[in-house]
């Protein structure tokens, strides 16, 4: 008997609609949510390989600027090539979710050590890694540019200033990245607006960029609305796991 609750191939793309529209969470969080979608889909639908590959394809193109999502979709695709057992696939996806969460925790711990000697710190856009660093830093003050609407999502009061005040106030800058692109002997950062202006203002100070290695690519990345791509300068240091 046909299972009428089972999704058809053409319906699968709709499973990611909430993530596609999500403008609140950072790339790392959305990668975890995407993996959980696939895990739940496998658990509830008992899909065949065609359905799983369709879902992986949708995940890969879900948020073009957030390359960590497509990177983890590719890991599932590679695993599926040599292992078709659904329970093994679920276990693998669960291990990927744990991997991302552990990487985020390690990057937060490193970030807390980096900012330990400083009291006045610049931040830009929104990142779940930065959010954890900020809420774990009781005595420090964090500054962002006044036009940075993304920074308003941090769960701690941020002091909003203009470009000159940012330059004069902070000792260092910290930020996340949605993609780090190596191309033709140059490195470009793709991140939420106004990251370029933030880095330009702090060109004479150290700026630390926290990003999982799955965000590092060597190909062009589509720049979604609200994001921008710019060249990394010598004062920018990448912290990656």
Over 90: is that where the pLDDT of 129 sits?
Answer: yes
CA dist 165 and 190 (Å) reads 24
If pLDDT is split at 50, 70 and 90, which confidence band does 213 have?
A: very high
The pair of three-digit structure tokens given for residue 39, joined into one six-digit string: 């895990």
The pair of three-digit structure tokens given for residue 47, joined into one six-digit string: 């899909």
Give the per-residue pLDDT at 124: 98
Question: For all residues of the chain together, what is the average pLDDT?
Answer: 93
* CATH topology for the 9-103 domain: 1.20.120
- The strand pairing partners of 141, in sequence order, are 120
Q: Is 13 exposed, middle or buried (0-12, 13-18, 19+ CB in 10 A)?
A: middle
Residues 77/96, Cβ–Cβ less than 8 Å: no
Give the per-residue pLDDT at 4: 42
* CATH topology for the 106-239 domain: Rossmann fold (3.40.50)
Q: Which of 29-33, 114-118, 184-188, 225-229 has the lowest mean pLDDT?
A: 184-188
Q: Which of 8-12, 16-20, 205-209 has the lowest mean pLDDT?
A: 8-12
Question: Is pLDDT larger for residue 71 or for residue 54?
Answer: 71
Give the per-residue pLDDT at 2: 43
CA dist 211 and 226 (Å) reads 19
If pLDDT is split at 50, 70 and 90, which confidence band does 13 have?
A: low
Across the chain, where does the E strand assignment appear?
Answer: 120-123, 141-145, 159-161, 172-176, 179-183, 186-192, 207-210, 216-217, 227-231, 236-239
**Residue 67: C-alpha distances to residues 26, 191, 194, 214 (Å):** 12, 11, 19, 7
- Say what the pTM is: 0.92
Give the per-residue pLDDT at 3: 46
Give the per-residue pLDDT at 157: 86
Total count of residues recorded for the chain: 241
Over 70: is that where the pLDDT of 180 sits?
Answer: yes
Over 60: is that where the pLDDT of 5 sits?
Answer: no
CA dist 37 and 31 (Å) reads 10
Model confidence pLDDT, tens digit, residues 56-97 = 999 999 999 999 999 999 999 999 998 878 899 999 999 999
Calculate the dihedral angle through the C-alpha atoms of 219, 110, 196, 149, rounding to the nearest 10 degrees: 110
Provide mean pLDDT across the span 175-190.
96
Domain boundaries, the chain: 9-103, 106-239
Give the per-residue pLDDT at 1: 37
If pLDDT is split at 50, 70 and 90, which confidence band does 6 have?
A: low
């Amino acid at each position: 008997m046909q299972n009428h609750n089972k999704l058809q191939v053409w319906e699968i793309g709709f499973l990611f609609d909430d993530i596609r529209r999500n403008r609140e969470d950072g790339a790392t969080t959305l990668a975890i949510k995407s993996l959980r979608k696939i895990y739940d889909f496998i658990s509830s639908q008992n899909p065949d390989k065609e359905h799983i590959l369709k879902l992986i394809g949708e995940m890969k193109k879900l948020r073009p600027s957030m390359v960590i999502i497509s990177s983890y979709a590719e890991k599932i695709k590679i695993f599926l090539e040599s292992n078709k057992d659904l329970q093994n696939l679920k276990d693998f996806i669960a291990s990927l979710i744990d991997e991302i969460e552990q990487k985020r925790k390690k990057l937060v711990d490193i970030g807390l050590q980096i900012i330990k000697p400083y009291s006045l710190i610049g931040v830009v856009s929104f990142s779940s890694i930065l959010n954890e660093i900020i809420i774990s830093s009781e005595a420090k003050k964090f500054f962002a540019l006044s036009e940075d609407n993304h920074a308003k999502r941090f769960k701690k009061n941020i002091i909003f200033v203009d470009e000159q005040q940012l330059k004069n106030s902070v000792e260092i800058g910290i930020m996340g990245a949605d993609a780090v692109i190596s191309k033709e002997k140059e490195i470009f950062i793709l991140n939420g607006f106004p990251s370029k202006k933030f880095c330009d203002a702090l060109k004479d100070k150290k700026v630390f960029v926290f990003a999982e290695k799955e965000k590092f690519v060597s190909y062009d990345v589509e720049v979604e609305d609200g994001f921008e791509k710019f060249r990394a300068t010598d004062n920018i240091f990448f912290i990656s796991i």
